[in-house]
Amino acid sequence: MSDWQALAAEATAAAPSFVVWKHGGELARPGGDLDATAARVDWPAIAVVVERWAAGLGCAAVVRCPHVPGRLVLVGAGGTAEDALLQVDLVARRPAGAGSWFDAKSVAAGAFVDDRGIRRLSPGAEGLLRALDDPGDAGARSLLDGDPAGAAAMAGRLSLPRRLVTGASRGSTAARLLGAVLATLRPGERPLQRYRPCAVTRALEQGRRASPRWLDAVRETHEVHDVS
């Protein structure tokens, strides 16, 4: 079992809303990141799991970044990781305008736990969410085409109309615009926080590499847990 697989399995056991929603059948690649959905109520428990995992790999600290709307970004850094950053994204909801395309609770309802102990999605469900998240995701279309039943099942679990969700995932600009409008009208929808680029998000966008003394600078603006 790879390091990422071990982390995903432990997080699955710790939090009922934790789901690996991208590349759930793989998780064997070196470096990189882990993309998961998780309800806000489960973020603290998962953060503890990530910190324990990062400590086992020899990292010096884990940074908690709340600056991306709808998600908590956890970053293992320092120690044996050297200048590499180990990224774990916990998405509570994927924004669509001032509302959201999908949320962690709906995603978890359509997930399953595989024989590795990892809660993840069927190929079609993964493809649907990836297409909603990023219309330019080249791998999403093949997942959708290969498992239309899985995509349809997940579309039915989301709060927006199934036809609208399906159209948006297939690249319809009109469906995406209408979905963004309808998402803002749902009762109880939380207003989006404003995205604030920071030292963490900039470093992640630049190849997940930390400059010298990056961790020291980040301590001034972020919650940092020493784990070494």
Helices 43-57 and 3-14: angle between axes, nearest 10 degrees? 150
Cβ contact 210:83 at 8 Å: yes
At 32 the pLDDT is: 73
Average pLDDT score over residue span 16-33: 84
Give the distance from CA 38 to its chain's centroid.
8
Query: 111 in helix, strand or coil?
Result: coil
**Model pTM above 0.75:** yes
Please report, for residues 132, 148, 163, 166, 209, the alpha-carbon distance to residue 155 in angstroms, rounded to integers and kept in the order given. 11, 10, 8, 7, 36
Please tell me which residue, 202 or 25, carries the higher pLDDT value. Answer: 202
pLDDT (tens digit, 9 = 90+) per residue, 73-114? Answer: 999 999 998 999 999 999 998 865 545 789 999 999 999 999
Tens digit of each residue's pLDDT (9 = 90 or more) over 112-139: 999 999 999 999 999 999 999 888 898 9
A 10 A CB-CB count for 28 gives: 11
Neighbours of 68 (CB within 10 A): 19
> What is the distance between the alpha carbons of residues 38 and 13, in angstroms, rounded to a whole number?
13
Segment 35-85, tens digit of pLDDT: 999 999 999 999 999 999 999 999 999 999 999 888 999 999 999 989 999
Q: Are 97 and 70 in contact (CB under 8 A)?
A: no
Cβ neighbors of 152 (< 8 A, separation 6 or more) are 124, 162, 166
Residues in the chain: 228
Whole-number pLDDT of residue 131: 92
B/e letters for 135-147, b = 16+ CB within 10 Å, e = fewer, are eeeeebeebbeeb
- Segment 141-200, tens digit of pLDDT: 999 999 999 999 999 999 889 999 999 899 888 988 887 777 776 655 455 566 788 999
Q: Give the phi and the psi of residue 82 in degrees, each rounded to 5.
A: 55, -120
- Tell me how far CA of residue 147 lies from CA of 99, 125, 153, in angstroms: 27, 8, 10
From residue 146, alpha-carbon distances to 62, 123, 124, 150 in Å are 38, 8, 7, 9
pLDDT at 85: 95
Secondary structure (3-state) at 22: coil
Q: What is the pLDDT of residue 135?
A: 86
